[in-house]
Structure 1
């Protein structure tokens, strides 16, 4: 699979405890992106953050780490990302989704 030049970067911000279909939401999103043939996805776990509810989530040793922030990045051509968005919308109850233009310099398997 080749991907080069202009593409889209989809960023999804959710909580570690968010679930879909009995599994972690981040896992369900990555598996669905793979099933739909998107070029790739990566999940990042945050150490600290807050979202729409303004509740701080942290991994500090003295505080119980609950629902740490998770970010998923998916890069592919615009048409594939646009086709994935309605599926993603059906999976998420809350969170933040952003989309931006990127230039792919190198992508090789």
Structure 2
């Protein structure tokens, strides 16, 4: 039998080309999430998209990983995600936007 719980999702939108101290900003965010002990983080590279500059980004799939839009998704408690946001404010102030939303997580129970 599956069970559901309420949780919070943090989605950070930025360009895959955004850098933070000579490293991809998305990689820095994932490493900080790991160091803070969050439940997990995934980076998704977009095929096409646009942001505040209204320039549509689309290119060959091999180039999109380094130049297209990307999103980092982390699911954890609201309190832990708010604490994490404070630790990445330096990156977000230059490179991205963060969205927090409440979600319902459905997981299978152990057999």
Say yes or no: TM over 0.5. Answer: yes
Change (3 A) 1:107 1:25: farther
Change (3 A) 1:51 1:13: same
Give the ranges of 4+ consecutive aligned residues of structure 1 lying more than 6 Å apart after TM superposition.
Answer: none
Q: Which runs of 5+ in 2 are unaligned?
A: none
1:57 matched to 2:28: no
Deviates more, 1:86-95 or 1:14-23: 86-95
Q: Which runs of 5+ in 1 are unaligned?
A: none
Change (3 A) 1:53 1:27: same
Alpha carbons 2:25, 2:95 under 8 Å: kept: no
Residue aligning to 1:102: 103
Structure number having the greater helix percentage: 2
Change (3 A) 1:95 1:5: same
Alpha carbons 2:6, 2:103 under 8 Å: kept: yes
Change (3 A) 1:104 1:36: same
Give the TM-score, by structure 1 length: 0.84
